[in-house]
């Protein structure tokens, strides 16, 4: 399969039934259908299970510090704007330690395709609660139930200024690929929240059953945004699809204008 660094490190380290693998597969299919040049593609991640994905891809891959995928990706995109820069990270990496960078990147509107793989816990470190873990759910650092509420990732992205916000799950594999394609083609900071099952930790601690059971729950518990006619329809459901899509000047384009202005100013001063 294209875009895969098939070597002695396969099969990859993700648990059996982990939804992250499905998201990875959908992302690669998006690259294939968009015919992205692997020599001009940089996939950036932080630390966590989702963040191990870029290491398996055959393109420039940048595995950075916990929470810092977005600023590192910003550096790459600014220095090499012709490259396609995709960021992949989990709910902990992107929204806890990386939360500040997430909201500022949305505000800055630099063209970065950001895939937030949300499995409702910190998987890599053993299943502690994350900023998206629902209140009352069990986790290793919340054995009696999470006392905190979880973010609505898409509302957060939208509130911070992201121009494209979409959500789907690892059950909706076709939509996953299509939303990633749309996000890559969007000129600005585009966020796709991909809900994925963590059967080994979050699922087990909360008695959600096997990977198959968790996927079926995603199927039964979601509703396309186009079917939501009144707010009550969405209560307790995962709303999927493109939730927000607007246009705003992309950062590198605005910066081109800044450069032109600076040069004009210099010429004025020299006169």
Long-range CB contacts for residues 220-227, cutoff 8 Å, separation at least 24: 222/169, 222/171, 222/172
Does 32 interact with another protein (rule: CB under 8 A)? Answer: no
Q: Give the interface segment with another protein, choosing from 112-120, 157-165, 227-235, 252-260 (CB under 8 A).
A: 252-260
| Tokens describing residue 33 | 């259908």
Among 32, 33, 100, 149, binds another protein (CB under 8 A): 100
Q: Which of 118, 137, 141 is nearest to 128 (CA)?
A: 141
Does 254 interact with another protein (rule: CB under 8 A)? Answer: no
Q: How far apart are CA 6 and CA 20, in angstroms?
A: 18
Rg (CA), the chain: 19
Q: How far apart are CA 27 and CA 33, in angstroms?
A: 10
Rounded least distance, CB 166 to another protein, Å: 18
What's the Cα-to-Cα distance from 253 to each of 80, 124, 249, rounded to whole Å? 13, 38, 7
Residues of span 39-98 touching another protein by CB under 8 A: 39-40, 42, 44, 54-55, 58-65, 68, 71-76, 78-80, 82-83
* Contact map string, positions 107 to 146, toward another protein, x by CB under 8 A: ----------------------------------------
Q: Give the interface segment with another protein, choosing from 88-96, 141-149, 236-244, 255-263 (CB under 8 A).
A: 255-263
- Residue 240's φ and ψ, nearest 5 degrees, are -110, 160
Does 258 interact with another protein (rule: CB under 8 A)? Answer: yes
Q: How far apart are CA 154 and CA 245, in angstroms?
A: 12
Report the interface residues with another protein, using CB under 8 A: 1, 4-12, 14-22, 24-26, 29, 38-40, 42, 44, 54-55, 58-65, 68, 71-76, 78-80, 82-83, 100-101, 104, 173-174, 177, 210-212, 215, 255, 258-259, 261-263, 265-266
């Amino acid at each position: 399969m294209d875009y895969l660094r098939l070597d002695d490190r396969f099969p990859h380290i993700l648990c059996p039934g982990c939804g992250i693998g499905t998201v990875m597969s959908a992302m690669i299919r998006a690259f294939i259908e968009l015919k992205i040049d692997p020599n001009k593609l940089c996939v950036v991640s932080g630390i966590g299970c989702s963040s191990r994905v870029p290491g398996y891809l055959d393109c420039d891959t940048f595995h950075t510090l916990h929470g810092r995928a977005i600023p590192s990706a910003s550096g790459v995109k600014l220095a090499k704007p012709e490259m396609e820069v995709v960021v992949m990270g989990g709910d902990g990496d992107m929204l806890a330690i990386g939360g500040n960078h997430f909201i500022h990147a949305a505000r800055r509107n630099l063209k970065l395709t950001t895939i937030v793989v949300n499995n409702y816990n910190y998987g890599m470190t053993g299943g502690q609660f994350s900023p998206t873990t629902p209140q009352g759910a069990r986790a290793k650092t919340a054995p009696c139930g999470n006392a905190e509420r979880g973010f609505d990732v898409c509302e957060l992205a939208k509130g911070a200024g992201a121009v494209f916000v979409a959500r789907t799950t690892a059950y909706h594999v076709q939509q996953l690929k299509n939303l990633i394609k749309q996000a890559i083609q969007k000129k600005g900071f585009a966020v796709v929240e991909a809900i994925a099952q963590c059967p080994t930790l979050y699922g087990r601690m909360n008695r959600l059953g096997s990977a198959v059971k968790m996927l079926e729950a995603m199927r039964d518990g979601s509703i396309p945004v186009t079917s939501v006619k009144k707010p009550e329809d969405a209560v307790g459901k995962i709303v999927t699809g493109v939730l927000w899509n607007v246009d705003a000047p992309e950062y590198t384009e605005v910066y081109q204008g800044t450069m032109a202005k600076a040069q004009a100013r210099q010429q004025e001063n020299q006169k």
